[in-house]
Amino acid sequence: MRIGRSACVSLLGRSERGVLSTVHPRRGVDAVPACFVLEGALVAVPVDTVKDKGTPDLQRVANVEADPRASLLCDHWDATDWSQLWWVRATLVRIDADAGRRASLEDLLRAKYPQYGIDAHPFASLLVFRITELTGWSAVVH
Amino acid sequence: MRIGRSACVSLLGRSERGVLSTVHPRRGVDAVPACFVLEGALVAVPVDTVKDKGTPDLQRVANVEADPRASLLCDHWDATDWSQLWWVRATLVRIDADAGRRASLEDLLRAKYPQYGIDAHPFASLLVFRITELTGWSAVVH
């Protein structure tokens, strides 16, 4: 059944990671797992230097520069008990954030993920999005 | 680092569920967690009647009917040990499958998910895709 807005926000805020889907001009869609933080109506996804990517010039960045639309999906999977399943999807549009906002979002990322605290400069860049829609489903009432 | 094709296939085949991303005309992308099976170059995603959706007329079906491009992402998350992380993305295009192929894919779904064995008719419909690209990343060599 559908989950209401406040439960969507709560579940999203407690999720450890999500799946970021972006628009690819030829493939249609790309998706990658992503660390993120939620602050009000904003979602921030870092391009970090902690996980070895070979290059920080990632397709996800090129995609949102060409088309700012994206989505972040968080879900809970349980192979044996499907009554525990839920998912929340935030539909996103990329925005420009000023330096103060970016610093605040980076602080939240460091607080959420201890791995980012070890490095003085863990972020190659930061994608900041505004949530335009929240949709959620669960097997039971939340 | 990038994962080779055979390791991508192996990881995808062992994944319990994935995230299906489809093209939405206004939002750009939609994503939902999805049960699936892999058979050769095909991926099958059921619209099941087991998880309560209110209606089987789902947006994911409307999306792939309007634009056949999609992707399936499977990943492994570990909050504390990022050396264990990996993800595999199958870029997909929806195809028409004949009745024999569909029956075979439905059998594989019943074998993978015991929940589908309880109901005589667990599938409202079946989305069948052909894999056009496989991309994978892992923190360590697979």
- ipTM rounded to 2 decimals: 0.93
Tell me whether residues A91 and B1 touch, CB distance under 8 A.
Answer: no
Total count of domains within chain A: 1
| pLDDT one-digit tens code per residue, B57-115 | 688 999 999 999 999 999 999 999 999 999 999 999 999 999 999 999 999 999 999 99
- Chain A residues bordering chain B (beta-carbon distance below 8 Å): 1-2, 16-17, 19, 21-23, 27-33, 50-54, 67, 69-71, 73, 75, 77, 79, 82, 85, 87, 89, 91, 115, 132-133, 137, 139
Q: Write the CATH number for B14.
A: 2.30.110.10
Which helix H or strand E contains B24, and what residues bound it? strand B18-24
Euclidean distance between CA atoms B57 and B47, whole angstroms: 9
Tell me whether residues A31 and B73 touch, CB distance under 8 A.
Answer: yes
Tell me the whole-structure pTM to 2 decimals.
Answer: 0.94
Euclidean distance between CA atoms B40 and B13, whole angstroms: 10
Euclidean distance between CA atoms B140 and B12, whole angstroms: 17
**Which ranges in A15-98 belong to alpha helices (H)?**
59-66
The range of the structural domain enclosing residue B49 comes to 5-138
Euclidean distance between CA atoms A49 and B95, whole angstroms: 39
| pLDDT one-digit tens code per residue, B6-30 | 999 999 999 999 999 999 999 999 9
Q: How confident is the model at residue B142 (pLDDT cuts 50, 70, 90)?
A: low
Euclidean distance between CA atoms B130 and B142, whole angstroms: 24
